[in-house]
Homo-oligomer: A and B are copies of this chain.
């Protein structure tokens, strides 16, 4: 029932190495990504709905959950597994009321205080970051490894780290009790998306021999 969060792909159509988002997600899923979060900003709702429906077919085929960023209505419309909300989206407690008990609720946090509030509001998992500098979100603040440790001690729900996750740092988190890596560019901007996904997943699990 509880998803495997170990390699959590966040989409970004501006950073893909492939022609279509469908191809990128397909290859990432083939490479072992365990969750897909569809993130879109400033597109008409109909286009978002059509794109989300397309993603849902792919994630269903691979038996992995589809999470929709921000747009609870799109998530409900396509029957996604859940929604992921940031600090500029509908408040987490209200989001939980709208989606009911069954759908997954992920919340972006950057401090132990925000993490505790998110759990109180009904979050199923947390996205913590940005951990390292990233081109995807240049304005994101940074979370220190110390703060990440505090968050891990304060809350019991799954945590994925996001922001600048790469082959160089992918092995740092599992020993801290973190449940997964959330990646954007480190997978979909790579020339071999499938291999990038499988490499990161292996590194996360500490299986460098499998790479």
Contact = CB atoms under 8 A, between A and B. Distances in A.
A3 interface: no
A42 B42 contact: yes
Nearest to A98: B76
Interface string A47-88: 101000000000000000000001111101100000001011
A90 B42 contact: no
Contacts of A70: 45
A46 interface: yes
A45 B76 contact: no
Given A71-B73, A98-B77, A91 B44 contact: no
A72 B72 CA distance: 8
A53 B193 CA distance: 43
A95 interface: yes
A49 B91 contact: yes
A145 interface: no
Chain A interface size band reads 20 to 34
Interface string A130-148: 0000000000000000000
A89 interface: yes
Contact of A73 (B47, B49, B88, B90): B90
A44 B74 contact: no
Interface of A: 42, 44-47, 49, 70-74, 76-77, 85, 87-91, 94-95, 97-98
Given A46-B91, A76-B98, A77-B90, 14 more contacts: A42-B42, A44-B88, A45-B70, A45-B71, A45-B85, A45-B88, A46-B87, A49-B91, A72-B76, A73-B76, A73-B90, A73-B98, A77-B95, A77-B98
